[in-house]
Amino acid sequence: MILIVNADDLGANERVNDEIFDLMQSGVVTSASLMANTPGFEHAVRQVPCFPQCSFGVHLNLTAFPPLSPSSDLQPILDESGHLSKKLFTTPITSKLRKALLHELTMQVERTLDAGVPVSHFDSHNHVHTIPKLFPVLKSLQRKFAIRKVRTTINLLPPGQHMTRLRSLKKIAYRLALRHAYKTTSPDGLGDFRDFYKILKAGPVPRFRCLELMVHPGIPNPKYSDEVAALRSGWHGLLPLDIEIGSYHSL
């Protein structure tokens, strides 16, 4: 079993960047996904070459910060400050808007590649790449940039929680489509590091071929307040011997 610890939101600001790279230096975080339309982008890309052992993806972003491609066609999902927003989740995706979203994400990927970042995979802020109506956008991006590794959907739940049959079937359908429409490789498991940590301390670890754990160092959100402490707790010592720590390079 391969275990990937991926830090989301690299580039959000310098504090987030410093937290992520410090955890990479410690060998705790093995992968990160970079937001290209953020104030900390340039600060982040200058440090990426120091960590060739780690993988770096593009954190496709349609719900926060100003767009790289200001356009009236994006207006339905912009807030009063002109920033991308969570209006995306309630706005009908017309063909005009879908085209504008593809253009924005294309610019985000191009900016990342132009900065010299070796892009290993795609994932997204607020999991927007798993929205069914945006599936064609994701696949267009993959084809354009020849990226064949993409984050899957969450299927590792907190201890005591169970997925409904309908939700499980939807996730299975998405994973099948993701793999076979422009052949794509993904971890077969995805969850929050804090949930995995609780499971690890309580009993047997769920078995996956490859499990990705999301972390959010430096994010000023109370729900992540104990995450860095858990990451630095020596949890590697609790792992079964057959679990290998890796990155998206391991897929």
| CATH number, domain containing residue 169 | 3.20.20.370
Stretches in the chain below the pLDDT threshold 70: none
Backbone angles phi, psi at 241, to 5 degrees: -65, -20
What is residue 176's predicted lDDT score, i.e. its pLDDT? Answer: 95
Q: Which domain does 245 fall in, by range?
A: 2-250
Residues contacting 202, CB < 8 A, separation 6+: 159
* pTM confidence score: 0.96
Quick one: 220 exposed, middle or buried, by C-beta within 10 A (0-12, 13-18, 19+)? exposed
pLDDT for the residue numbered 40: 98
- Output the pLDDT for position 225: 82
Q: Which pLDDT belongs to residue 60?
A: 98
Return the closest-CA partner of residue 145 out of 175, 177, 179, 118.
118
Q: How many domains does the chain have?
A: 1
Q: What stretch of H or E contains 191?
A: strand 189-192
Upper half-sphere CA count for residue 156 (Cβ side, 13 Å): 25
Q: Considering only CA atoms, which of 92, 131, 104, 111 is closest in space to residue 34? A: 111
Residue-wise pLDDT for 59-98, tens only, equals 999 999 999 998 999 999 999 999 999 999 999 999 999 9
pLDDT on residue 221: 83
Q: For residue 237, how many other CB atoms are within 10 A of its CB?
A: 6
8 A C-beta contact, residue 60 and residue 125: yes
Q: Which helix (H) or strand (E) holds 215?
A: strand 210-215
Sign of the four-CA dihedral 155, 157, 163, 166: negative
17-29 pLDDT, tens digit each? 999 999 999 999 9
**pLDDT at position 220:** 85
Q: What's the pLDDT at 219?
A: 87
Residue pair 192/181 in contact (Cβ under 8 Å)? The answer is: no
For the chain, give the mean pLDDT. Answer: 96
Residue 203 is predicted with a pLDDT of 82
User: Helices in 78-189 by DSSP H: which ranges?
Assistant: 95-114, 135-145, 165-180
Per-residue model confidence (pLDDT) at position 57: 98
